[in-house]
Structure 1
Amino acid sequence: MTGRDKTPEVAGTVADAVRGNWVDRLAPPRTRPYLRLSRADRPIGTWLLLLPCWWGLLLSMLHDGRGGWFDLWIFAGCGIGAVLMRGAGCTWNDITDRHIDGSVARTASRPIPSGQVSVRGALAWLAAQALVALLILLTFNSAAILLGVISLAPVCIYPFAKRFTWWPQVFLGVAFNWGALLAWTAHSGRLEWPAVVLYLAGISWTLFYDTIYAHQDTEDDALIGVKSTARLFGENSPTWLRRFLVVAVTLQGIAVIAALIGASPLAMAVALAGTWAFGWHMAWQLSRFDMTDNDRLLALFRSNRDAGLLPLPFFAIALLL
């Protein structure tokens, strides 16, 4: 299909975006390349960045045994901040990976390698998103602000990780789960060890879902020399995924127990049921895993939104007990 044959609704569509997404259908044409650069047409990444924030906030409230009106702002601020920082992170990732993305079938249609957005335009868009996110961060307490500033280091390093380590998913996990630390601290004013354990649980979860995701690109990655846990594990991936599952569920369970020490047994049981539901969903994904089926791999990866959402209603009910 030539450029003239494309309609405004489909022109510039990214290969792995959900068909008929809101960006392709509803966004003004001039904004679409920038929204695609921020992955607004693929919201799963925003969810995966946001959910550890909400875990951390609710467990911090459970730990303190209280909640307040400002926690509603933390809840909403994390949501807005996740959209902005995921967008800024993806923009940075695409700037640094623009030459690699052009060599991979799944990513060649992204805005920079396909010529929809210039590097200068992407840098300006990156700065705009980061600035608005900073304004939100400045409404939190000083300890949370400091954590937010520190989080920029792993965000900046991650795009380069696949060039020097077989474990770039660790760097992604370090960046993507930072919100567990930040939201806990935004509520309590201090960083405590249950939040750190929750953070480590999130990193193991990221290793689980992003290894699944990375299996889509193993052939192209091998050709261009990009490293990933999917390439490293190969046929042993199910064994490693099971290990990440066990570690993620165990650590989240420890974080829940530590946060609810002194709470009622019923509240503890309800909160731990949320962790069980989280683990059950990961086990279901593992039972469906097929490294040769890219459509299934993408569907399983996207299903982690549901996995991460499952603990939240249990944590919220436990707060009421």
Structure 2
Amino acid sequence: MDWRKKLNLYLALIRWDRPAGWLLLLWPTLGALWVAAGGFPGWHLLSVFVLGTILMRSAGCCINDVADREFDKHVKRTAQRPVTTGLVSVKEALAVGAVLALLSFVLVLSTNGLTIGLSFAALAVTMVYPYAKRVVSMPQAVLGMAFGMGIPMAFAAVRGEVPALAWWLTLGNLFWVLAYDTEYAMVDRDDDLRLGLKTSAITLGTWDVPGVMLCYLLFITILAAALINKAQSAIFIVALVVALGQVVWHFTLIRHRTREGCFKAFRLNHWLGFAVFAGIAVSYAVQ
């Protein structure tokens, strides 16, 4: 096979054309970096966490596609993924994932011992998540744990410790992940029911839309309570109001539970995350 075609397959494997996935990981991680440092964290840590986030999200895609390859072929949205179609072998996908994870670990080695230790926990949760939907009624909670590990790692890298504030931010982020990944699960609910998989959309049933809205509100409430005395600026409050406005918009997109509306709401979540991060970063800049 032509090397350019193979490269394109690998880029498809890691969802390079869909940056929304790593942006969902990036904004809360950067927000934690800014809070931990009390402002701009420096170019070294910024580079480590931006590149590390992209690499680990890409590695997670490789693991996920290998784990779900037999299910994905029965779902219209995922049937053409490279591993599912056989254009990329399982060994290839795992090798690509391993290289990406190793590169991410090399970046973490430039921080400190606590951050390195937390990176192993982050990797473990990332590897467990793809299999959670077989046994856990709300596998999105496991994804929330995986997607939130950048927060305590950011505090560890800046301060050499993980204070209670970091865990409050991680909890808030967990509710945000539950909100947007339930929207994502609503897209595939019919296929997942047929395949016997477990998701939050299936578990919540007719309470899916209220559940998503509640998770959004808990995310913003916890964030506000945790940071109101840290990001002391009207700008931060404005950012939270903007985030709430987006939550209302998402409600209009998902209330009829159409595949198109739910998928659009999921894809737009990175703008909500950006609004919160921008509020944090600018509020520290003007202090």
Check conservation: 2:253, 2:264, Cα contact below 8 A.
no
Offset at 1:107? 1.0
| 1:77 corresponds to | 48
| 1:29 corresponds to | 5
Whether 1:198 and 2:169 are equivalent positions in the alignment is yes
Which of 31, 36, 45 in structure 2 is aligned with 1:60?
A: 36
Which of 11, 17, 22 in structure 2 is aligned with 1:46?
A: 22
| 1:103 corresponds to | 74
Check conservation: 1:211, 1:229, Cα contact below 8 A.
yes
Kindly report structure 1 stretches of 4+ aligned residues shifted beyond 3 Å.
none
Whether 1:239 and 2:210 are equivalent positions in the alignment is yes
Q: Distance in 2 between matches of 1:186 and 1:275?
A: 26
| 2:279 corresponds to | 314
Which of 99, 102, 113 in structure 2 is aligned with 1:142?
A: 113
Q: Distance in 2 between matches of 1:212 and 1:291?
A: 12
Offset at 1:248? 0.4
Which of 275, 291, 296 in structure 1 is aligned with 2:240?
A: 275
**1:255-294 alignment runs, 5 A limit:** 255-257=226-228, 259=230, 267-294=232-259
Aligned-partner SS, 1:164: coil
Offset at 1:113? 1.1
Check conservation: 1:56, 1:183, Cα contact below 8 A.
yes
Check conservation: 1:233, 1:240, Cα contact below 8 A.
yes
* Structure 2: segments with no counterpart, 5+ residues: none
**1:107-186 alignment runs, 5 A limit:** 107-186=78-157
Residue type at the aligned position of 2:234: A
Offset at 1:291? 4.7
Offset at 1:143? 1.5
Q: TM-score under structure 2 normalisation?
A: 0.94
- Bigger radius of gyration among the two: 1
Q: TM-score under structure 1 normalisation?
A: 0.84
Deviations 1:159-216 (A, max 9, x none): 1111001100000100011111111221122111111111111110000001111111
Offset at 1:258? 5.3
Check 1:258–1:166 CA distance in 2 against 1; reply closer, same or farther (3 A cut).
farther
| 1:3 corresponds to | none
Check 1:191–1:144 CA distance in 2 against 1; reply closer, same or farther (3 A cut).
same
Offset at 1:268? 4.1
Aligned-partner SS, 2:82: coil
* Structure 1: segments with no counterpart, 5+ residues: 1-7, 9-26, 261-266
**1:1-12 alignment runs, 5 A limit:** none
Q: Distance in 1 between matches of 2:6 and 2:124?
A: 31
Check 1:100–1:128 CA distance in 2 against 1; reply closer, same or farther (3 A cut).
same
Q: Distance in 2 between matches of 1:58 and 1:235?
A: 39
Offset at 1:282? 1.9
Check 1:148–1:258 CA distance in 2 against 1; reply closer, same or farther (3 A cut).
farther
Offset at 1:283? 2.5
Q: Which moved more, 1:98-107 or 1:158-167?
A: 98-107
Deviations 1:125-172 (A, max 9, x none): 111111111111111122111111211121111011110011000001
Offset at 1:239? 1.2
Check conservation: 1:218, 1:230, Cα contact below 8 A.
yes
Superposition CA RMSD, Å: 1.8
**1:203-214 alignment runs, 5 A limit:** 203-214=174-185
